[in-house]
């Protein structure tokens, strides 16, 4: 059963316009998400294109043939541009205008302008071309995208495939015959309008979902990031550290905790100002990043206190890493030699188990032992107990 084409035309205009206005409103509320601006423009241009194409048979055929199809091709270009911007690339004005420009150029030829089957093939292939470009944007950025992009990619591929098929099988039904429901291509024409509405609604939904998901990821990252140093904060360290310890316990692998405290930090702030204290914290966080592996976890858990959890590390390996960190910090040229130093307490899961709170408590004891012994040193809990026993 063929769908009622006049009803579909009216419905498609209202659907495209409403979705476009709502998407533009979402962009107005969040101007940084330019993806929504291009997506809204795509839908509004689609609404305009359908209105202009519907003017066939009113004595102004150049309007639907030229301007109607130009609007629809610009709509397809905006769809591609929206995804291009979403994945972090700049809009291509040449690409946006290429389809419409080619159409205008071809329309200057009477052989093209008067041949509806040729126009249908060319238009369908241009729309399919923009669909291929859109899919390529997803594929090119698949490793860097952290959002669920597969629904949008599949939807785009289906839409592109439809227009490739249309370029082959469309019988080029004139609009007046389509409106009257007479002709072999009525079913396909009605299905084309229905597919267009489904695609616009679908791509709007998944694009908004991707934008929302990325925004939530940014908020989550900000909640787990120390704003001064850019490394993980206490919340991030506790969450990632517990996962590391659970994995180490499951595989019966050792792990070690380094608790670091910058020496005389208050004196540093009082003598040189808080900006110098901030610079010292930033510099120390960089040293941690340079000396630790990707599988290790570290973060700033207090004002001048940092914690590092080393995967598959025993006491000897942990002490070696801690000494490298201590020496690197003390050799910084920010201030006079000896002005910067760090005390580090080291414990391992061998003596303290796989409970993160327990490890932090034990490492804190070792850290205070390092402070009591003159600062600027690495202190293990085991050696501290041994020295207490000897005394």
- pLDDT tens-digit profile of 145-179? 889 999 999 999 999 999 999 998 876 766 666 66
Are residue 52 and residue 139 in the same domain, yes or no? Answer: yes
Domain CATH for 283 = 3.30.70.270
Which of 197, 223, 249 is where one domain is finished? 223
Which of 170, 194, 223 is where one domain is finished? 223
Are residue 16 and residue 108 in the same domain, yes or no? Answer: yes
Which residues of the chain are modeled with pLDDT < 70? 1-3, 57-59, 171, 173-185, 337-338, 382-391
User: Helices 150-169 & 186-223, crossing angle to 10 degrees?
Assistant: 160
pLDDT value of residue 6:
77
Are residue 181 and residue 303 in the same domain, yes or no? Answer: no
Domain assignment of residue 156, yes or no: yes
Are residue 278 and residue 149 in the same domain, yes or no? Answer: no
pLDDT value of residue 221:
82
Are residue 153 and residue 46 in the same domain, yes or no? Answer: yes
Are residue 114 and residue 219 in the same domain, yes or no? Answer: yes
As a whole number of angstroms, the longest Cα–Cα distance in the chain is: 107
pLDDT value of residue 358:
93
- How far is C-alpha 285 from the chain's CA centre? 25
Are residue 206 and residue 241 in the same domain, yes or no? Answer: no
Domain assignment of residue 229, yes or no: no
Residue 95 has a CB neighbour count (10 Å cut-off) of 15
Are residue 33 and residue 85 in the same domain, yes or no? Answer: yes
- SS3 track for the chain: CCCCHHHHHHHHHHHHHHHHHHHHHHHHHCCCCHHHHHHHHHHHHHHHHHHHHCCCCCCCCHHHHHHHHHHHHHHHHHHHHHHHHHCCCCCCHHHHHHHHHHHHHHHCCHHHHCCHHHHHHHHHHHHHHHHHHHHHHHHHCCCCCCCCCHHHHHHHHHHHHHHHHHHHHCCCCCHHHHHHCCCCCHHHHHHHHHHHHHHHHHHHHHHHHHHHHHHHHHHHHHHCECCCCCCECHHHHHHHHHHHHHHHHHCCCCEEEEEEEECCHHHHHHHHCHHHHHHHHHHHHHHHHHHCCCCCEEEECCCCEEEEEEECCCHHHHHHHHHHHHHHHHCCCCCCCCCCCEEEEEEEHHHHCCCHHHHHHHHHHHHHHHHHCCCCCEEEHHHHHHHHHHC
Are residue 193 and residue 155 in the same domain, yes or no? Answer: yes
pLDDT value of residue 177:
60
Q: How many domains does the chain have?
A: 2
CB 340 within 8 A of CB 280: yes
Residue 332 CA to residue 378 CA, distance in Å, equals 18
Domain assignment of residue 193, yes or no: yes
Are residue 70 and residue 219 in the same domain, yes or no? Answer: yes
Residue 51 CA to residue 62 CA, distance in Å, equals 14
Are residue 166 and residue 257 in the same domain, yes or no? Answer: no
pTM, 2 dp: 0.73
Its domain, for residue 138, covers 5-223
Domain assignment of residue 205, yes or no: yes
Query: Could you give phi then psi for residue 375, rounded to 5 degrees?
Result: 65, 180
Query: 279-284, long-range: CB within 8 Å, 24+ apart, which pairs?
Result: 279/334, 280/334, 280/340, 281/228, 281/229, 282/228, 282/229, 282/230, 283/329, 283/332, 283/334, 284/260, 284/329, 284/342
Are residue 292 and residue 166 in the same domain, yes or no? Answer: no
Domain assignment of residue 228, yes or no: no
CB 278 within 8 A of CB 337: no
Question: What is the token pair recorded at 346?
Answer: 């080291």
Which of 167, 188, 223 is where one domain is finished? 223
pLDDT tens for residues 24-46? Answer: 999 999 888 999 999 999 999 99
Domain assignment of residue 240, yes or no: yes
Domain assignment of residue 175, yes or no: yes
Domain assignment of residue 123, yes or no: yes
């Amino acid at each position: 059963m063929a769908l009622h084409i006049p009803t579909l035309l009216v419905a498609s205009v209202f659907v495209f316009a409403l979705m476009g206005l709502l998407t533009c409103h979402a962009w107005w509320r969040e101007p940084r998400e330019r993806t929504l601006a291009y997506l809204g423009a795509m839908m509004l241009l689609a609404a305009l294109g359908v209105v202009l194409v519907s003017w066939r048979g009113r004595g102004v055929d150049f309007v639907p043939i030229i301007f109607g199809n130009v609007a629809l091709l610009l709509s397809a270009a905006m769809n591609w541009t929206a995804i291009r911007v979403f994945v972090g690339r700049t809009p291509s004005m040449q690409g946006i205008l290429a389809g419409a420009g080619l159409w205008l150029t071809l329309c200057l030829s009477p052989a093209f302008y008067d041949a509806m089957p040729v126009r249908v093939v060319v238009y369908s292939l241009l729309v399919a071309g923009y669909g291929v470009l859109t899919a390529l944007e997803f594929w090119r950025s698949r490793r860097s995208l952290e959002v669920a992009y597969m629904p949008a990619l599949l939807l785009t591929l289906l839409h592109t495939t439809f227009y490739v098929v249309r370029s082959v099988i469309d019988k080029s039904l004139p609009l007046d015959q389509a409106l009257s429901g007479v002709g072999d291509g009525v079913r396909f024409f009605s299905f084309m309008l229905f597919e267009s509405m489904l695609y616009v609604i679908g791509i709007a939904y998944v694009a908004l979902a991707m934008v929302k998901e990325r925004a939530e990821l940014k908020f989550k990252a900000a909640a787990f990031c120390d704003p001064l140093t850019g490394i993980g904060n206490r919340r991030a360290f506790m969450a990632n550290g517990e996962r590391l310890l659970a994995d180490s316990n499951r595989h019966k692998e050792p792990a070690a905790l380094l608790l670091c405290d910058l020496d005389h930090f208050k004196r540093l702030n009082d003598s040189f100002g808080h900006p110098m204290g901030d610079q010292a914290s930033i510099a120390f966080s960089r040293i941690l990043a340079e000396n630790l592996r990707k599988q290790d976890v570290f973060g700033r858990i207090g004002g001048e206190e940092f914690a590092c959890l080393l995967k598959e590390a025993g006491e000897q390996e942990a002490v070696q890493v801690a000494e490298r960190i201590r020496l690197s910090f003390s050799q910084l040229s920010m201030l006079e030699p000896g002005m910067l130093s760090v005390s580090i307490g080291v414990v391992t899961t061998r003596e303290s188990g796989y409970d993160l709170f327990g490890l932090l408590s034990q490492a804190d004891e070792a850290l205070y032992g390092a402070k009591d012994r003159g600062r600027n040193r690495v202190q293990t809990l085991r050696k501290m107990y041994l020295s207490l026993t000897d005394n």
